[in-house]
Amino acid sequence: MVRDITLGQYFPGKSFIHRLDPRVKIIITFVYIVFIFVASNFEALLTMSALILGILLLSGVPLKQYFKSLKAILFVVIFTSILNLFYGGGRVLWSLGFVQITTGGVSNAVFITIRIVSLILFSSVLTFTTSPTELTDALERIMKPLKVFHVKVHEIAMMMTIALRFVPTLLEETDKIMSAQKARGADMESGGLMQRIRALIPVLIPLFVSSFRRAYDLAMAMECRCYHGGEGRTKMKVLHVTGLDAVAAVLTLVVCAAVIFCSVYFPAALR
């Protein structure tokens, strides 16, 4: 399960998505996430899903990596879909006492499943195709207007990116610790829920120790390199908006217009 979590991983490449300005990618990701929830029927949602599938293919990242990101939340998707089966009108397909599954409930379950899967897949594109350094620079530039209110934009962006960057590292460390514990005879997969939770205690303690050690080493390395925040710092790579970013922005506007059109002129899926 730990190996299936892909949050924070970056896959170097030279695809169309990799070459986009990270600021544009962050803004487009935010816009698409909003419009995934704006889509109120299957026509609008399938329009978004078709575009997301095209973006996955253009990113150059192996599709199995995207499937891994879905596998980590598979339980949430299934649980949410089952709950939505019992909400909605229409013809009754199955009933047991007061519990009924209707055509509207099935429609709701399928709609919510597509929405959650699309949300996770599109969010994964950002971290898979954008390095932590680019994310830091992009977040800092986007939040730059907040400096008027004396907000430490650079420090906030740095902390967010470091946290995202260390997710794969800590997951790898967790996997190593669990493998070491299992080699010593620890049983972490059998028994009830409370027994499994107690079995994780020998994993959590060394993981916390390792995390604090890594944080101390990182702080020492930054201090040795005379890091004192964002004031007066220059950038090795200056971000520039290119024609590719303009094409991506125009495509985003077209898709958003199509979603609004479908949401207005077609009946809503959720009843």
**Which sequence spans correspond to the domains of the chain?**
2-265
pLDDT tier, 250 (very low <50, low <70, confident <90, very high otherwise): very high
Tally of helices (H runs) and strands (E runs) in the chain: 10, 2
pLDDT tier, 231 (very low <50, low <70, confident <90, very high otherwise): low
Determine the pLDDT at residue 271: 47
Q: What phi, psi does 161 have (nearest 5°)?
A: -70, -40
Residues 6+ apart with CB under 8 A from 59: 13, 15, 17, 18, 125, 128, 129
55-112 tens-digit pLDDT: 888 888 888 888 877 777 778 888 888 887 777 777 777 777 677 778 778 888 888 8
Instruction: Give the C-alpha separation, 28 to 97, whole Å.
Output: 47
139-172 tens-digit pLDDT: 888 888 888 888 888 788 778 778 777 877 887 8
Instruction: Name, of 149-153, 197-201, 216-220, the range with top average pLDDT.
Output: 216-220
Residue 33 burial (10 A CB sphere; 0-12, 13-18, 19+): middle
Residue 100, Cβ neighbours under 10 Å: how many? 15
**Which residues is 238 bridged to in the sheet?**
none
Residue 87 Ramachandran class (φ > 0 left, ψ -120 to 50 alpha, else beta): beta
Q: Is the pLDDT assigned to residue 269 strictly greater than 70?
A: no
Determine the pLDDT at residue 234: 67
